[in-house]
């Protein structure tokens, strides 16, 4: 069995990517692959309906190389950051282009397993909920959600201390004039999230090996 991990973050090596990798790292006995959407050119769906004949998108971009990875995977670990209380544009474009698999009872992705990962500076659940909804639309069973606090760009933009509209200003203590390392969210400071990623990865391994889902 093969698990495909996808990070939708435009920033490499940050919380979304690291959390996807944590889940993948906990999977034993199965192959794993990882893709970062950072730097890839994936256009949004143009609603041309060119894919309805053979379930293959007619647009030419980096989605062409991703398609066989999506088809051969038996499970997906998909992560995205929170941009304005929803998942970000790169991941949304990928999901729009997933439309190519849906026509005339297409079975290329239906019936597989999925893990939803969300990261945010204030609400990491929003993108995870979007991913879970996406899984339902496509007949993918979501076996779990992992969320983590991430470092908002306001921490490193150079104006976090003075920008009243930014995510940092409201968290400053009276008289505080600098951003300290202790203020900046990091996955390494969230052991409960790392532990959950491990558990979800182990659960995914078990399900792919034929174990029954836990009773609810």
Same domain, 44 and 145: yes
Same domain, 108 and 28: yes
Q: Residues near 7 by Cβ (< 8 Å), separated by ≥ 6? A: 16, 17, 20, 34, 35, 36, 37, 38, 79, 80
Q: Does the residue 215 lie in any domain?
A: no
Domain ranges, residue 168: 153-184
Six-digit token pair at 61? 């971009």
Say what the pLDDT of residue 214 is.
62
Question: What are the helix (H) ranges across 55-190?
Answer: 63-72, 89-97, 125-137
pTM reported for the whole predicted model: 0.93
Q: Does the residue 195 lie in any domain?
A: yes
Say what the pLDDT of residue 216 is.
43
Q: Does the residue 73 lie in any domain?
A: yes
Contact 161, 178 (CB under 8 A): yes
Same domain, 68 and 120: yes
Six-digit token pair at 12? 């490499």
The number of domains in the chain is 2
Q: Does the residue 42 lie in any domain?
A: yes
- In order of 2, 88, 138, the CA distances from 10 in angstroms are 25, 9, 24
Scanning the structure block, which residue is given the tokens 């558990």?
199
Looking up residue 142, the CATH number of its domain turns out to be 3.40.50.360
10-residue mean pLDDT profile of the chain (216 residues): values are: 97 96 97 98 97 94 97 97 96 97 85 97 95 96 97 86 84 82 92 98 97 61
Q: Does the residue 216 lie in any domain?
A: no
Same domain, 91 and 29: yes
- Taking the chain, what is the end-to-end CA distance rounded to the nearest angstrom? 26
């Amino acid at each position: 069995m093969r698990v495909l991990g996808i990070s939708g973050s435009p920033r490499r090596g940050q919380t979304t990517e690291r959390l996807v990798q944590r889940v993948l790292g906990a999977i034993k006995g199965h192959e794993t692959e990882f893709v970062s959407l950072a730097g890839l050119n994936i256009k949004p769906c143009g609603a041309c309906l060119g894919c309805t004949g053979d379930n293959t998108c007619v647009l030419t971009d980096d989605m062409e190389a991703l398609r066989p990875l999506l088809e051969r995977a038996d499970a997906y670990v998909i992560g995205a950051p929170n941009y304005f209380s929803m998942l970000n544009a790169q991941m949304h474009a990928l999901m729009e282009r997933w439309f190519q698999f849906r026509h005339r009872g297409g079975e290329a992705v239906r019936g597989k397993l999925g893990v939803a990962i969300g990261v945010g500076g204030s609400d990491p659940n929003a993108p995870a909920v979007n991913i879970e909804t996406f899984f339902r639309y496509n007949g993918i069973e979501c076996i779990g959600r992992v969320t983590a606090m991430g470092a908002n760009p306001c921490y490193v933009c150079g104006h976090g201390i003075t920008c009243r509209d930014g995510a940092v200003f409201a968290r400053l203590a009276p008289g505080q004039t600098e951003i300290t390392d202790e203020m900046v969210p990091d996955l390494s400071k969230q052991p409960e999230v790392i532990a959950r990623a491990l558990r979800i990865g182990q659960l995914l391994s078990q399900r792919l090996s034929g174990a029954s889902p836990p009773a609810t």
